[in-house]
Amino acid sequence: MQISLPAYSDWSEDCTLPEGLTLIKNSTVEANGFSYYYSLALQAAIEDGTIAGVQTEAEANVGSTETEDGPAARHTGKTKTFIKLAEDEVGIDWYEMLSLENDNANDNEIRMAYKRRCLETHPDKQPDHSDLLFKKVQRAFEILSNPDGRRAYDSSRPFDDTIPLDGLNVDEDESLFYSAFTDVFERNKKFSNDPKISTLGDASTPIANVRRFYDEWLAFRSWRDFSHSAEAKDLQEIKEDMPREEKRYYLRENQRVLDKLKKDEVKRVRTLVERAMKIDPRLRKYREEVAAAKEKEKADKEAAQERIRAEAEAKLVAKYAAEREAAEAKKAAEKADKQRVIDLKERVIVRFEDADLLCEIPTNKLLPDVVRLLNIDWLTGIMKDLDELEAFANKIDKMDNDEVVGYFNDFVEERELMVGQSRYGEPCRRLDNEALLARQAEVAAAREAARIRAAGIVWDEEDVSNLQKAIAKYPGGTMDRWRKMAQFLRDKYTEDEVLMKTKKLEAELKNKAGGNTATTSASQRAGNASSVKPSASAPTEATDVEDWSPEQQKHLENGIRELKAYKQKDKWQRIAKKVEDKDAKQCFERYRHLCNLNKNQ
């Protein structure tokens, strides 16, 4: 229900109304000219919680337009409400009008100050009943109680926008920085959207708080309204009766001007913060500490990398040194093993050379009376166990000449069966250890039986004479010599028996001749095949073609080699000059004899 307000004298000081009554502040509801004051006082009481159950002005006037005369203008809809101050109102201190000491008062303090000032400035309490001061108090409350109006008014008040000049030197006195910037930040703090924004602090402020301070100010958001600034004096006032297109145009133009001023404000605050950050002694010290820490970290990292590199290099050097030492040791061991093989091979060769049992004809055939040099090379080449090779050399050194050749041949055949490869380089059947041991035992038993049988055989004079003829007919180096000699004796004796008897005769001839007889081994070392030269008492005589010393044979070979391309008739006379005690005919017959022997091999 709508009622007329009672007279001021009948209005209770506790601002209470009869229960169930609703007050609507309206220009049509006035009583004695004071209904406006009563309605505002009642509204303040309702908001303050003094009374309840009364409809407020905002609830009663939703969607309504301003009907009072004056400079205030309101815009509804999506456009925010703002209050445009008149020029004569910009210079008035409306906080002082409400007896507020500063502009930090909250809404509740403004309402309480307004009620108090209303009572103080009411026309009934004025000597001349003037309502001029009372209306100013109402205007002050109207401006300061409206958030947009208050911000517009606060933004229009005089404000020092200056910031300290760049290049302030605080190296000698750090207090200059705090005295120059503290007040500036405090002044600008009032425009922050964040009421709890940090303060500059002092030299004892922790660096974390200092950094947080600058982070907050770098993100500073100002609520400052430039609608009443000198730069915005040309803003067009938007009226409700304007055409929609015109209204929109002026709204855009006004917003463009305000946005530019807003950007300038943001730039100003950013400049202030950046200058402060540049010369802030706390940040400078912090930056120096951070730089020193980074340098130390970098130095430590480089030192660690250098240490790791040095350790890796040392390990690599040690590894290479160890590998080099191992390689040198291996090379030395291999060289020692090769030299040992050479020495053992030389021992074996010397053993058979001293016994005139060595044949240097380049074949691998096993002979019962001599040992071929190629077989020695093959045997010492395949025996990887040098201790075993040394044991073999030691054993043949202790054996008799009659047995050593057979033992050597048996050893070669056993090695062929052990490695699965013949001395000619061809694959052959490989026997295991058990089969080899059985074969060794069988061969040893056969040789022992042959030796026993040969010891009991009696050779008569005719058989000895025929044997000497066979020796002369089949000299050393003849292919299948012992088989042919046994056939010459009409197979009365085996090849081994013929071999043993021949060796026995040769030993007797050496003893009788005093070592002046040319032996088979001498001719063999010279690369020739020759027979045993019998003594003067022998029934056969050695031909002149076989009576050659090793030195003579060597000189003959050198002469033939040097004059190989010589085609003149005196070729053999020239060769004979190089051979002592031999003429051209003897040299040629010796050469032809050797060629025939090679063909029979």
For 261-283, give the DSSP string. HHHHHHHHHHHHHHHHHHH-HHH
pLDDT at 599 (0 to 100): 66
Query: Do the beta carbons of residue 24 and residue 50 sit within 8 Å?
Result: no
What's the DSSP call for residue 70? S
The pair of three-digit structure tokens given for residue 26, joined into one six-digit string:
């309206």
The token pair that represents 572 in the structure block? 């053999």
Q: Is the pLDDT of residue 352 over 80?
A: yes
Joined together, the tokens standing for residue 272 give: 């202030």
How far apart CA 257 and CA 230 sit, in angstroms, is: 12
Residue 433, CB half-sphere, CA atoms under 13 Å: how many? 0
Average pLDDT over residues 293-320: 92
* Nearest of 433, 361, 372, 384 to residue 408 by alpha carbon: 372
- Band (pLDDT 50/70/90 cuts) for residue 454 is low
Q: Per-residue pLDDT for 528 more than 50?
A: no
Nearest CA to 177 out of 209, 196, 159, 201 is that of 201
State mean pLDDT over 195-217: 86
Check residue 192 and give its pLDDT. 81
Tens of pLDDT, residues 175-191:
888 888 888 888 888 77
Is the Cβ–Cβ distance between 85 and 152 less than 8 Å? yes
* Average per-residue pLDDT for the chain: 75
Contact 347, 376 (CB under 8 A): no
Phi, psi values for residue 424, rounded to 5°: -85, 0
Note the pLDDT of residue 302: 92
Between CA 175 and CA 204 the distance in angstroms is 12
The residue-averaged pLDDT of 12-20 equals 44
| Among 139-153, 313-327, 555-569, the least confident range | 139-153
Burial 61-73 (b: 16+ CB within 10 A, else e): eeeeeeeeeeebe
pLDDT higher than threshold 60 for residue 417: yes
Q: How many CB atoms lie within 10 A of CB 289?
A: 11
**Residue 204 predicted with pLDDT over 50:** yes
Instruction: Please tell me which residue, 34 or 515, carries the higher pLDDT value.
Output: 515
| Whole-number pLDDT of residue 63 | 34
Check residue 442 and give left, alpha or beta (phi > 0: left; psi -120 to 50: alpha). alpha
Give the mean pLDDT of 532-552: 54
Q: Taking 60 as the threshold, does the pLDDT of residue 66 lie above it? A: no
Question: Could you give phi then psi for residue 111, rounded to 5 degrees?
Answer: -65, -45
**Cβ count within 10 A of residue 244:** 7
Averaged over 200-218, what is the pLDDT? 88
Which one-letter DSSP state was computed for residue 519? P
pLDDT at 329: 92
Torsion angles phi and psi, residue 427, rounded to 5: -70, 145
Give the pLDDT confidence score for residue 346 in this predicted structure: 92
111: CB partners within 8 A, 6+ apart:
44, 47, 48, 141, 145
Q: Has residue 247 got a pLDDT over 50? A: yes
- Decide: helix, strand or coil at residue 371: strand
Residue 423 has pLDDT above 80, yes or no: yes
pLDDT at 313: 92
pLDDT score recorded for residue 306: 92
* 388, 389, 390, 392 alpha-carbon torsion, rounded to 10°: 90
For the ranges 22-36, 320-334, 533-547, 552-566, the maximum mean pLDDT occurs at 320-334
530 confidence band (pLDDT: 50, 70, 90): very low
Which positions ≥6 away from 497 have C-beta within 8 Å?
450, 453, 454, 457
What's the rounded mean pLDDT across residues 486-497?
82
pLDDT of residue 69: 35
Mean pLDDT over 133-139 rounds to: 87
Closest CA to 213 of 272, 168, 292, 297: 272
Least confident of 147-161, 236-250, 419-433: 147-161
**Burial (Cβ within 10 Å: 0-12, 13-18, ≥19) of residue 356:** buried
Residue 360 near residue 524, CB atoms below 8 Å: yes
More confident residue, 217 or 103: 217
Given a cut of 80, is residue 33 above it in pLDDT?
A: no
Question: pLDDT value at position 322?
Answer: 92
For residue 466, what pLDDT is reported? 86
Q: Is the pLDDT of residue 537 over 50?
A: no
Report whether pLDDT(25) > 60.
no
E strands, 203-328, in order:
none
What tokens does 446 get? Answer: 């056969």
Instruction: Please indicate whether residue 29 or residue 133 has the higher confidence score (pLDDT).
Output: 133
Query: Do the bridges between strand 371-372 and strand 358-359 make them parallel or antiparallel, or are there none, so unpaired?
Result: parallel
- What's the distance, Cα to Cα, between the start and end of the chain in Å? 154
Structure confidence at residue 342 (pLDDT): 92
Which of 59-63, 86-90, 123-127, 167-171 shows the lowest mean pLDDT across its residues?
59-63
* Out of 276-290, 388-402, 444-458, 481-495, least confident range: 444-458
Instruction: Let me know if 137 is exposed, middle or buried by CB neighbors in 10 A (0-12, 13-18, 19+).
Output: buried
- The whole-number pLDDT of residue 195 equals 74
Phi-psi region of 152 (alpha: psi -120 to 50; beta: other; left: phi over 0): alpha
Structure tokens of 578?
């190089």
| Range from 240-249, 335-344, 460-469, 500-509 carrying the lowest mean pLDDT | 500-509
Say if residue 77's pLDDT is above 50.
no
- Region 236-251: what's the mean pLDDT? 85
Confidence of residue 343 (pLDDT cuts 50, 70, 90): very high
At 14 the pLDDT is 42
Measure the CA–CA gap between 590 and 545, rounded to whole angstroms. 5
User: Of 456, 455, 431, 348, which is closest to residue 395 (Cα–Cα)?
Assistant: 348
Most trustworthy range by pLDDT among 48-52, 476-480, 573-577: 573-577
Q: What is the tens place of the pLDDT at every residue in 78-98? A: 344 445 666 666 677 788 888
Residue 359's SS3 state is strand
Counting other chains too, the contacts that 128-135 makes at CB distance below 8 Å and 24 or more residues apart are 134/37
Q: Which two tokens stand for residue 582?
A: 């031999």
Q: For helices 35-48 and 132-145, what crossing angle results, to 10°?
A: 40
% pLDDT > 90, the chain: 9
Residue 299 has pLDDT above 90, yes or no: yes
> Which residues make Cβ contacts (< 8 Å) with residue 44, sequence separation at least 6?
111, 114, 115
The pLDDT value recorded for residue 525 is 38
Mean pLDDT, residues 536-547 taken together: 49
Residue 121 has pLDDT above 50, yes or no: yes
Closest CA to 114 of 94, 129, 92, 90: 94
Q: Is the pLDDT of residue 245 over 70?
A: yes
Question: Is 267 or 231 the better-scoring residue by pLDDT?
Answer: 267
Least confident among 169-183, 227-241, 392-406: 227-241
pLDDT at 514: 56
Q: What residues are paired with 11 via a beta bridge? A: none
**How many CA atoms lie less than 13 Å away from 5 in the CB half-sphere?**
27
Phi-psi sector, 176: left (phi>0), alpha (psi -120 to 50), beta: alpha
Question: H helices then E strands: how many in the chain?
Answer: 22, 2
Which structure tokens are listed for 242?
């304007």
Residue 308: predicted pLDDT = 93
Residue 531 has pLDDT above 60, yes or no: no
Indicate the burial class of 314 (C-beta count within 10 angstroms; 0-12, 13-18, 19 or more): exposed
Q: Which of the two residues, 349 and 14, has the higher pLDDT score?
A: 349
